[in-house]
Amino acid sequence: MPSEPLLGPSYATAPVRAELDDTAWLQAMLDVEAALAAAAADVGLVEAADADAVAEHCRADRFDLAGIGIRAATAGNPVIPLVADLRTAVPAHAARAVHIGATSQDVIDTSLMLLARRTIPAIDAALTRAVSAAAGLAERHRGDVQPGRTLLQHAVPITFGLTAATWLVGLVEARAALDRVATERLAVQLGGAAGTLAPLGDHGVAVMEHLAERLGLAAPALPWATSRGRVVELAGALVLVAGAAGKVATDVAGLMQTEVDEVREPGEPGRGGSSAMPHKRNPASAALIVSAAHQVVGAATVVLGAQLQVHQRAAGPWHAEWDPLRRALLLTTGAAERVADLLEGLDVDAARMRVDLDRSGGLVMTEAVVTSLVAGGVDPAAARATVETCVRAAHSESRPLADLLALDPVVRSALGEDGLRHALDPHRHLGATGAFIDRALSTARGATRP
């Protein structure tokens, strides 16, 4: 059963939500306990049969989740009641193999790392879909001109392919950052009471390494119970992913606005409707992605602000990380999945882009005209002054800039009619657009670093 259905819109799809709910977390803690017993058996500290007996009981459905939660409120964390119940559940001979050498933090930290390891493939897959869709858009709209907009003003022509290529690179970079964290920084935490693994005698490091191997996590140099770089890096990578998705969503919402109307979210019955206005087509997905990005930053802020953990286990800052980390994973997955859907189904109106570009009557080409005048021998300051005069006249007389330029003697002599037409043709003033798109596509193929 997905938790918090009313907030569904902000979150991941049901399968991922199920991977991050309380049952999944409980199971991850039990998986750590089972793997720990097995690791102890690997080095001969306990009998393999006892480890197997422990493993057999490490199934979330055998535990009273709500009851553990209630006792956790008294104990200070859920591992204390969980271990008590697990010890009771296993045969007496196997009790010693339960939680051997470990402390609560070992289980919680490692289980959160497991949740991350289990969730990241969904994020990665969604990002890969999004990258592929963005690459397709970049290819298909490589030459479809669109107004470049800076500070919300038309600036110079770009192509929608360049817009999509920029999204692509942001997504590729974020995916690379997340993959690096997944590969290098997700590690087991195993230190016992205060980081020495004393009860394991000489076997501490070996148990830690077996545990890591069994769980598919890295083995750290030493316990990181109060050295929180790993969780900070994880949170940071999630922020990058949510931010890259949020950048796409921000642009899509901006390009969907009534006055611009250059793209639309994928149509679907019920999507983006309004309870009051039949005509609206809201950027519903974009809004939810943006919402997720805001919340992931908030969650990350908690993790970043909890780094100062004293001595061998902190009284509060560590506890503050648990929920924000889960939430950041959930929200980031949701953002990644939604942005993939958004890009795959994006409805692009290239004709409208061209209309928008022309709407200014040539104003968006002023840089190009100045450049052409200078290339035609006009002094840069004079070129700029000429164009500015025409711009002012276009404004005050409400006439197209092109007409005024055509009448200007400086322009006429420097460019001639054909030259002016060329100067005003956006396709002739795209500079490195194609080269940048190619570089982006090469990045997407992994051929080059972003």
Catalytic positions are 274, 313
The minimum distance between CB 249 and a second copy, in angstroms, equals 7
Report CA-CA distances (Å) from 145 to 271, 383, 425, 426.
Answer: 29, 25, 10, 7
37 binds a second copy (CB under 8 A): no
Cβ-based neighbours of 377, under 8 Å, separated by 6 or more? 414
- Among residues 41, 58, 324, 346, the one that binds a second copy under rule CB under 8 A: 324
The angle subtended at Cα 242 by Cα 291 and Cα 177, nearest 5°, is 170
Find the binding residues for a second copy in span 422-441 (CB under 8 A): 429-433, 435-437, 439-440
Find the binding residues for a second copy in span 105-134 (CB under 8 A): none
Amino acid occupying residue 11: Y
Q: Which stretch binds a second copy (CB under 8 A): 33-41, 50-58, 63-71, 413-421?
A: 63-71
Find the binding residues for a second copy in span 257-276 (CB under 8 A): 257-260, 268, 270-276
Cα distance between residue 225 and residue 14, in whole Å: 32
Find the binding residues for a second copy in span 72-101 (CB under 8 A): 72-80, 83, 95-96, 99
Per the CB < 8 A criterion, the answer to whether 226 and 309 are in contact is yes
Report CA-CA distances (Å) from 55 to 33, 215, 265, 376.
Answer: 8, 13, 47, 80
447 binds a second copy (CB under 8 A): no
Count of residues that interact with a second copy, criterion CB under 8 A: 189
Q: Which stretch binds a second copy (CB under 8 A): 49-57, 126-134, 252-260, 342-350?
A: 252-260
What does the block give as tokens for 400? 């197209």
240 binds a second copy (CB under 8 A): yes
The minimum distance between CB 136 and a second copy, in angstroms, equals 17
Q: Nearest to residue 338, comparing CAs of 118, 123, 121, 119? A: 123
The minimum distance between CB 245 and a second copy, in angstroms, equals 10
CB-nearer residue toward a second copy: 129 or 327: 327
- Among residues 61, 308, 377, 417, the one that binds a second copy under rule CB under 8 A: 308
Find the binding residues for a second copy in span 329-368 (CB under 8 A): 356, 359-360, 363-364, 366-368
Residue 158's SS3 state is: strand
DSSP 192: T
300 binds a second copy (CB under 8 A): yes
Annotate each residue in 130-149 with x if it binds a second copy (CB under 8 A) or - if it does not, as one string. Answer: -----------------xxx
CB-nearer residue toward a second copy: 118 or 318: 318
- Among residues 16, 37, 54, 104, the one that binds a second copy under rule CB under 8 A: 104
Find the binding residues for a second copy in span 158-217 (CB under 8 A): 158, 162, 165-167, 169-170, 173-174, 177, 184, 192-202, 204-205, 208
Report how far Cα 362 is from the mean position of its chain's Cα atoms: 38
- Among residues 153, 407, 413, 416, the one that binds a second copy under rule CB under 8 A: 153
26 binds a second copy (CB under 8 A): yes
Orientation angle between helical segments 380-397 and 409-423, nearest 10 degrees: 80
443 binds a second copy (CB under 8 A): yes
DSSP letter for each residue of 81-107: HHHHHHHHHS-GGGGGGTTTT--HHHH
Cα distance between residue 356 and residue 354, in whole Å: 5
Residue recorded with tokens 């930053």: 297
**In terms of residues, how long is the chain?**
450
What does the block give as tokens for 26? 């409980």
